[in-house]
Amino acid sequence: MTHPDDEIAICAWIKRLTDAGAEVFLNWTHSCPVRESEGRIVATILGISDSNLRFMSATDGKVCDELAELKPKFQALIDCVQPNRVCCAAFEQGHLDHDSTNWLVNQTFKGPIFEVPLYHPYTRRLQRMNAFSTSIGQESLALRPEEWQLKLQVAKSYKSQNIWSVLWWYEAWQTVRFKPVELRKRELMRFQTHKDFAQPNLPEPLRSEVVASAQWHRWLAAVERANMPP
């Protein structure tokens, strides 16, 4: 994950894995003392041992500017853990930090990569949450009532953030618009197939909006710098 609290998107899936005895590692690209402490509390709730947690300490909002420095850290993590699969936020132009983590995973891990939706696109003030820009290839995990409560517990554990109120208001707003998103009742995931990081992973008209944005030009420049030989 990129930020401590992003794992809310798949916390029920993580808990099912740990309950089944699977070994799960959780890495956050950005971290600071407060959010790290909150992330450790959440990891305990999800059944992940403290020894399986990693924090990369990247700068919030500036991860794309630190790709070259972060890549060796990600490679060392992958080499140490040797995972059989990795899951990260979708490369879907919702947040440059999320896209950066996706890029870092793809640069350092050659096995199957799965992605989950957080929100998109960054060109719009009201972004779409908990849904991919297209449903092609996605699978939906229907959650049990006790897992609805788990999601609430995890969200409320991040007391330094306003994530709980954001999720509540978004779900209420979508319900009023007769477009319920059921943030607590489902988790989405898909196998990542789009790996052209010089092209937005969005349908029109979102694609053209992103291509014309300052954020996209910043992204292209950041990837170009990261790919330059040392």
Asked if the bond preceding 121 is cis, omega within 30° of 0, the reply is yes
User: Dihedral of the CA atoms 10, 13, 15, 19 (nearest 10)?
Assistant: -170
67, pLDDT greater than 60? yes
Q: Tokens representing 88?
A: 């990260």
Predicted confidence at residue 32, as pLDDT, reads 94
Confidence bin at 230 (pLDDT 50/70/90): confident
* Burial (CB count within 10 angstroms: exposed 0-12, middle 13-18, buried 19+), residue 17: middle
Confidence of residue 41 (pLDDT cuts 50, 70, 90): very high
Q: How confident is the model at residue 72 (pLDDT cuts 50, 70, 90)?
A: very high
The pLDDT tens digits of the residues spanning 76-95 come to 999 999 999 999 999 999 99
Using one digit for the tens of pLDDT, what is the confidence trace for 110-151?
999 999 999 999 999 888 888 999 999 999 999 999 998 898
**What was the pLDDT predicted at 75?**
98
User: Distance between CA atoms of 90 and 208, rounded to whole angstroms?
Assistant: 19
Q: Are 208 and 52 in contact (CB under 8 A)?
A: no
CA separation for the pair 190, 136 (Å, rounded) = 9
Residue 215: per-residue pLDDT: 98
pLDDT tens digits along 158-212: 998 776 566 655 565 555 554 555 677 899 999 999 999 999 999 999 999 999 9
3 state SS of 190: strand
Asked, as a colleague might, if the bond just before 205 is cis with ω within 30 of 0, I would say yes
CB count in 10 Å sphere of residue 35: 19
- The answer to whether 115 and 192 are in contact (CB under 8 A) is yes
Q: Specify whether the CB–CB gap between 160 and 86 falls below 8 A.
A: no
**Across residues 62-72, what is the average pLDDT?**
98
Determine how many CB atoms are found less than 10 A away from the CB of residue 195.
12
Give the domains, in start order, of the chain with CATH numbers: 6-227 (3.40.50.10320)
Q: What is the pLDDT of residue 226?
A: 97
pLDDT score of 178:
45
